[in-house]
Chain A
Amino acid sequence: MIVIDTWLYGELASYAGEDAQPGFAQLKIELPDGATMQDLLDEIDLPTELRGITFINGNLSAMPGKQHDLTQELKDQDRVALFHLRSMWPYQYRQGAAMLDSFNDEIQKDGDRGIHHAFNG
């Protein structure tokens, strides 16, 4: 088994039920070895389209409309942060920040190299 330090922000905190605090929730989620981001979302019953900006251990792994991290395998004690769709991270405050390699690869394929807030698929 692995344990994932899971943070839910804004309205997503309601997926933590009674564990929610004002504005956020922190959960320790147990998953089988080899579990992925999709497994984590399934475990907390959170449809992937309701999450936006996502981090795994401080590395950006998803943005609204760009969610290639569903197959990302998680490790024991990983910190996963899931944000609601009203959150934002303007490019000028994001440029040069840490990203998951797979996310970076996706961004590089875009003509605009990830400068926008939302992506169309």
Chain B
Amino acid sequence: MWFLRINMKDRTHQLTEVPEKYKKLAGRSLTSNLIADEVPPLAHPLGPNNKLVFSPGFVTGTSAPSSSRISVGGKSPLTGGIKESNAGTPWAWKLGRMRIKALIVEGQPEDKGEFWGLVIGLDKETGQPTLEWFDATEFTGQDAYDVYPMVFKKFEGRRVSVCGIGMASEHAYGNAGVIFEDMSQNPSRFAGRGGLGSVMGSKGLKFILLDDAGAPGVEIADKELFDEGRKKLAAALNEHAITKPKGGLNTYGTAVLVNILNEAGGLPTRNFSRGRFENAAKIAGEAIFDGVKERLGEERYNHACSPGCIIRCSNTWYRKDKSEHVSCVEYESDWAFGANLEIDDLDTISELVKLCNGYGLDTIETGVTLGVAMEAGVLPFGDGEAAIEMVHKMGKGEPIGRILGSGTGTAGKILGVVRTPAVKGQGMPAYEPRAVKGIGITYATSTMGADHTAGYTIAPEILAVMDDLDPLSKEGKIALSRAFQATTAFIDTSGHCLFIAFAILDIASGYQGMIDEVNGVLGTKWTADDILELGTEVLRVERKFNEAAGIGKQADRIPEFMHTEPLPPHNVVFEIDEETLDKVYGEL
């Protein structure tokens, strides 16, 4: 297993064995530990002292189901704190198979407008990673949907996978993701949140290509145990109503949540001023499935974003002429451009998603920032054409576009908007904390800023221990949010997609399967308690970094307006007090 360090000051590199300290870390636990150990907390996120770390999870690159995830870490230009953002992509699978445990990008060139492409391959004789550089300046200033085919063409005949950045990162926005290819070589899979694309751009790195020819694959210490675990997890995924083939996610995608949250009164509408959108049903997952069926004349189930996914949640929207418009319109993007902006037309929403992919913008941050801009009167609510035009201005770097590209928190300040739905500067995802109070605790306290994936699941064993605790009591909420966040940090470390959570929460053997897989790869004997502790330790490391960067408990707050403005239709406010919020990390 390798640690590969690239210094962009002079494009030199250093290849070493994995240091002992990091051997039992991967994915988020590795990116966060490396950032905490090597980046000064007060470093400027876009300066030479920040680093960008890529790490596949423990089982990424193996045959473990739904595990082709890559963690990307760095200090975030959006939140100013530590950031881990992850994506499912063939690129992750290849990095795992090439046995590169961490790819660490450091330094930056003295000459600003320089952009480079890097191809990492493997030496046939020694099996060691090799590096080739190419001048990528010619690929800048263009839509990623135009650029990606050119890059694949340039390396025709080689099995390359592409990670890159778009124009948003070239403009150094707080809202700029790292773009990975999907299974059809489209630039549609994002480590979107937190502006890590701009960290990559600040280093003059436009692309990282992986050529995995001759890759040895992931080393597995105990093949039998690994296989046992893999089978248990696969069985759970194939059985559960949400994750099985033709189940909830495979049929309707994550946008199946639109109608649910809308009925619950928790779908943020018109820049978080209401919890229900009257036209939500027209843009929901069910409407996408039926709409596609109507346009194509046949049912279409969803596809996988990356190799080996059983769940296959990624949908595709088609134009009236049956041509593919975009993949994928997932729940957060659908909501961000739909209910949040009061746009009820799937063609417009799909166009906005496609533009974000093409420019390298994070769809959530873009939609939430547009909501704030609409609130400020910069453009009208419900006006899809104006929204499309504004995203072009963001991508092209026009002055108003740059303001919006800085992210929700900053744009809200510049535009003087009180109702700015952001925590630690990061725009809030599609669950209203006034209506769904549990997620509010995670939004407020997560080391990542307002993040819907920070508190995803919990081990059944932990639940059993919490038997006497009412999850709706103060103590229950604190304990649950903490356990949720820690377990999630472990899944992000294992390399699995978070959506395995639905199945493993209901089917205990699936949860054990995930642990067996990891023990099989590492040769460890970790128990459910051990992995919870590992996840908790990740949170401690991240929290410590944030505190040293000046982001302490005062930043663990839900925006003030949510405490004072009742949210229709339930007319509720967020009433969890500061003392409760502080206990989540205070007693970690």
Contacts and interface: CB of A to CB of B under 8 A. Distances in A.
B457 A92 contact: yes
Contact of B456 (A92, A108, A115): A92
**Nearest 4 interchain pairs by C-beta:** A95-B438, A96-B437, A23-B287, A23-B286
B529 interface: no
B284 A116 contact: no
Contact of A117 (B241, B431, B456, B480): B241
Contact of A88 (B248, B266, B440): B248
Given A96-B437, A117-B502, A88 B242 contact: yes
Contact of B265 (A23, A58, A114): A58
A120 B248 CA distance: 19
B263 A111 contact: no
Contact of B264 (A26, A85, A98): A98
B259 A87 contact: yes
B439 A86 contact: no
B294 interface: yes
Contacts of A86: 241-242, 247-248, 251-252, 256
Nearest to B331: A93
B161 to A, nearest CB: 30
A24 B457 contact: no
Interface in A87-121: 87-98, 108, 111-118
A21 B281 CA distance: 9
Interface in B254-301: 256-257, 259-261, 263-266, 276, 281-282, 284-291, 294
A53 interface: yes
Given A58-B276, A89-B257, A90-B502, A98 B287 contact: no
A93 B477 contact: no
Given A87-B259, A97-B436, 15 more contacts: A10-B252, A21-B281, A21-B287, A23-B282, A24-B281, A24-B284, A55-B264, A57-B569, A86-B248, A87-B252, A88-B502, A90-B502, A93-B261, A94-B438, A117-B505
A21 B455 CA distance: 35
Interface of A: 7, 9-10, 13, 21-24, 26, 53, 55, 57-58, 60, 64, 79, 81, 83-98, 108, 111-118
11 contacts: A9-B286, A10-B252, A23-B284, A55-B263, A86-B252, A88-B257, A97-B266, A98-B435, A113-B471, A115-B471, A116-B506
B477 A117 contact: no
Interface string B431-463: 100011111101000000000100111100001
A78 B177 CA distance: 44
Contacts of B263: 7, 55, 58, 79, 81
A92 B281 contact: no
Contacts of A91: 505
Size category of the B interface is: 35 or more
B23 interface: no
Nearest to B247: A86
B570 A24 contact: no
A95 B470 CA distance: 11
A83 to B, nearest CB: 7
B472 interface: yes
Contact of B241 (A22, A23, A64, A112): A64
Contacts of A108: 470
B456 to A, nearest CB: 6
A95 to B, nearest CB: 3
A92 B265 CA distance: 16
A115 B209 CA distance: 42
Contacts of B285: 23
A103 B308 CA distance: 39
B218 to A, nearest CB: 29
A98 B256 contact: no
Contact of B260 (A89, A92, A113): A89
Contact of B248 (A87, A94, A114): A87
Contact of A92 (B242, B442, B464): B442
Contacts of B506: 116-118
A85 B290 CA distance: 16
B318 interface: no
A58 B264 contact: yes
Contacts of B579: none
A83 B241 contact: no
A88 B331 CA distance: 12
Interface in B325-368: none
B260 A87 contact: yes
A102 B291 CA distance: 37
Given A96-B437, A97-B266, A88 B484 contact: no
A90 B240 CA distance: 13
Contact of B436 (A7, A84, A94, A118): A94
Contacts of B111: none
Nearest to A52: B241
